[in-house]
Structure formats: C-alpha cells, structure tokens
Amino acid sequence: MTPSIKMNEMSKRELVAEIENTNEMVEYTTMAPLVFKEEYQPASTRQFLSDFFRTDIMNHCEFLKRMNTFKGDDCYLISEICNRLVDQTKGKEAQKITSFYGGNDDEVNASDVGHIARADFQKHKSFPRNCFNIMMVYEALKGLDGHNYNIYELAYLNYHSTFAFYLACLIFAIQSVLFYVVLHANLVKYEVAVNQTDAFVLLIDCCMTIFIFCFCYSQYTGAAAFTRAANGVIGSYLVSQDDLVIQIPGNRDTWKPSLLRWMNRMVNQHALLMVPFINFYFLLLSKNPMDALLNGFSLLFIFELDDYILPLFAGVDIEDKLVINAHDFIMVPPNKEYLTCKQVGPDVVASSKLYVSIQEDTKTINIYSRISATKYHKTTYVFSGFQAKKFLSICDESLNCVQHFKDIHD
C-alpha cells in the first residue's frame, strides 16, 4: 500500500472519529440545557393562570397587566375560566393560600402603585373573580392594544390628577373656540364656493378631502374603541357602590371622568363626523391652489391639538392606569345564576397542547387536550343563564386560540 493511500485512510478514520465526537458533543450540549430549562424555567402562562383562578391570591393587577401577553396561549385562559365557572356553579370556593405579602419588612406603599392609601392595603383578602367581566376586559384591552391615547383619555385614566383634568378642559376650550371661528368666518362666503372654477383648487380639494376622511375615520374608530372600553370595563367609578369589594372613602368622584369621556366623544367622534364635509366646502373658498393646500391642514391642526400635548404625560404608565381602572370591574361578585357551566367529558389536560372551538348555537365550548401525537381528549362545557350568549360571543371574537382551531382545517 502506497503512503498516499495510507494517509487517505488515516484521514478518513480521523474524520469519522471527529464526526462521532462532534455528534456526542451536540447530543450532550443539546440535552443538558433542556434539563436545566425544565428545572429552572420561570412560571409559565398556564401555571400563572391556574394559580390565579384556583387560589385566592390577590394578584388581580398582575393578571390584568399580563392579559395582552397571552396571545395564542389564551387557550389556557378560557380553560381556567371554564373550570372556575364549573366550580362556581357547584359552590366550590378557591383554595386558600398562605399569605406571603404585606409583612413589615416588605410593605408596599399605596402611592407607589397608584392607589390611595388605606388601612387595609397590606391585608390578605379573598377577592372575587368575575369570569364574565374578565372576558369583557380581555376583549377591551385587546382592542386598545397599540392605541394612541389623547389628552382626554389620559386624563380619564388619571382622573385623580387635578393638573391633567384642568389641562384637558383647557385644550377642549381652545379646540372649541378655534373650530367655531373657522365655521363663523367661512359659512357666510358660500357664493365664492359655488362659483369656484379653478381646476387645481378643485383637484386639491378632492385629494385633501380623501386624506381628511381617512384621518377622521382613524381618529373616530380609536375614540370609539376607548369609549366602549370605558363603559364600565376600565371605568371603576361605574361599578355600583354595593359591588365594590374595596371601599375607599372619598374616592367616588363621578363627574370628572364622565366629563372627560364626554369631551373625548364630542371632539374625536361627533365633531369629526362633520369635518370632511366642512373641509370640502372650506377649500372651495381658496383664491389659488397654494391657499387651498395650506387651508387643507388648518382643520387637522385643530383636531390634533389633543395629541400635541402628549409629551407632558411622558411619565404616565398607561398600562398601570388601565389596570387600576379595571380591577374593581373584574372583582364584582359574580352571581352564579347569571352564568352557569357544566362539564361533559374528562378533565382538560392543562399541561398539554389545547385546541378550542366555540359553538354559539348550542352554547358550548369544546377544548381538545393532546394525549399523544395522534390522540386528543375532548372536554365540553355547556353554558346557561342570561349572560351565556354574550359570554360566548365575546370569547369567539377575542380569543386567539379559536383561530388556531380554524387554522387546522385550512
């Protein structure tokens, strides 16, 4: 055998040995982190939701803050809600925990989390979980995900702030005066609009009207989404006095948040409906195309004033304000006669992959639990009560996991 052939055979053997060693190293480095991850991984969404609905831990605010992070894992949310409703129908209470918070060495000041100081702030209490209201809040917060807040909405969320309230009133007054001046100065010049013949002015008018319409539609839908969410869902002051679990004396001012909601609707909903038509007429009064182009942005400036002032609220934690305004709503004591649930089939395997389907006509929710790669168990929840139809409608519209079930049929 020639030396070159021997060298080639040795090279092959060394290469095979190196590959085998590499595979062993890959297998070792692949398996080791998995064991570490399984042992030390943080609490999962499934575990977090299970603790919230099955025990009496007072983490309602933490729960609300994490709502927008569930995404496709909201299958565990509806699973735990269904189980909680079944227990509630049977009269079964949540499991008691050994309180680990509120001690002398780890007290949290009420002001640090945006609350008014009260004597019972540190004490453990068994707060209710109203599953119907929780789904309403989930739908509302999903609708506000990525929402651009204006001065009226931020002042509403922080309505205890005197500065925010009076600043919102000032901006409303300025917008109202400017809008009135524009209308009063131009409505009497209708003859000029009727006799407008400049083709470029007409072209700019049409283009700007389309742009203004898109702007108004965006502002209107955003304000409408906030209004829907504020109608009890993120309006703790709308919860009746008898339903309040936490009683805070002197904390029930209703006229300020009501006025802020009214101003927001007037500016960003009702007035905006007229703007495209007013803008079309307004531009017809222009003497030349340049005036038409400049005049087209004047109304935009008036209705954007409530957004220009937002840098003054740069330090406001919107997520925290939403939570503070919603936590009373999800703690309204539930009435089991309003929404009852019965389980048919085996228990949901919560630690497995879940698929969820909703049948509004039969008032049922089916949850399929993965048993193996080829087998799933079906658990059916049957709902009744006058809230059942609305509850299932909210679930069908807001749960991401429902779309996952539909996707497997595409």
Q: Could you give the angle at the alpha carbon of 249 between the alpha carbons of 248 and 255, nearest 5°?
A: 95
CA distance 163 to 59: 30
Residue pair 156/326 in contact (Cβ under 8 Å)? The answer is no
* Amino acid of residue 174: I
- pLDDT of residue 23 exceeding 50, the answer is no
Q: Which of 78-87, 131-140, 229-238 has the lowest mean pLDDT?
A: 229-238
30 has a pLDDT exceeding 50: no
Is 285 a residue whose pLDDT tops 70?
A: yes
**Across residues 268-291, what is the average pLDDT?**
86
% pLDDT > 70, the chain: 82
pLDDT category at 365 given cuts 50, 70, 90 is very high
Average pLDDT rounded to a whole number, residues 180-185:
86
What is the four-CA torsion angle of 303, 304, 308, 314, rounded to 10 degrees? 100
User: Structure tokens of 108?
Assistant: 């949290």
pLDDT at 336: 85
Query: Which has more confidence, 32 or 9?
Result: 9
Q: Is 75 exposed, middle or buried (0-12, 13-18, 19+ CB in 10 A)?
A: buried
Nearest to 135 by CA among 336, 360, 339, 330: 330
Q: Quote the Cα angle for 310-314-318, to 5°.
A: 90
Most confident range (mean pLDDT) of 1-10, 236-245, 301-310 is 301-310
pLDDT band at 248 (very low <50, low <70, confident <90, very high): low
* Closest alpha carbon to 46 in 345, 400, 354, 330: 354
- Looking at per-residue pLDDT, the higher value among 25 and 132 belongs to 132
pLDDT given at position 3: 47
- pLDDT exceeds cutoff 60 at 193: yes
Which residues fall within 8 angstroms of residue 158, CB to CB, at 6 or more apart? 164, 313, 316, 321
pLDDT exceeds cutoff 80 at 25: no
How far apart are alpha carbons 159 and 164 in whole angstroms? 7
Contact between residue 149 and residue 222 where contact means Cβ atoms under 8 Å apart? no
Span 271-282, pLDDT tens digits: 988 888 888 888
Helix 271-283 vs helix 298-308: angle between axes, to the nearest 10 degrees?
Answer: 150
Confidence category of residue 118, pLDDT binned at 50, 70, 90:
low
Classify the phi-psi angles of 372: left when phi > 0, otherwise alpha if psi is within -120 to 50, otherwise beta: beta
Q: Report the SS3 class of residue 157.
A: helix
383: β partners: 341
Q: b or e along 14-28 (b: 16 or more beta carbons within 10 Å of the residue's beta carbon)?
A: eeeeeeeeeeeeeee
pLDDT of residue 298: 82
Residue 112, pLDDT score = 65
Q: Which two tokens stand for residue 330?
A: 């999800």
Q: pLDDT tens across 307-332, in order? A: 888 777 766 778 888 888 888 899 99
Residue predicted with more confidence, 60 or 10: 60
Residue 10 has pLDDT above 50, yes or no: no
Per-residue pLDDT for 265 more than 90? Answer: yes
356, 405 in Cβ contact below 8 A? yes
pLDDT band at 74 (very low <50, low <70, confident <90, very high): very high
pLDDT of res. 231: 82
Query: Average pLDDT for residues 195-208, to the nearest whole number?
Result: 85
Cα–Cα distance measured from residue 40 to residue 58, given in angstroms and rounded to the nearest whole number: 25
**Eight-class DSSP state of 235:** -
CA 94/CA 130 separation, integer angstroms: 13
Which of 15-24, 57-66, 109-118 is most confident? 57-66
Q: Where are the alpha helices (DSSP H) in 73-198?
A: 74-90, 131-143, 151-157, 162-186, 190-194
pTM: 0.79
What is the rounded radius of gyration, in angstroms, for the C-alpha atoms of the chain?
30
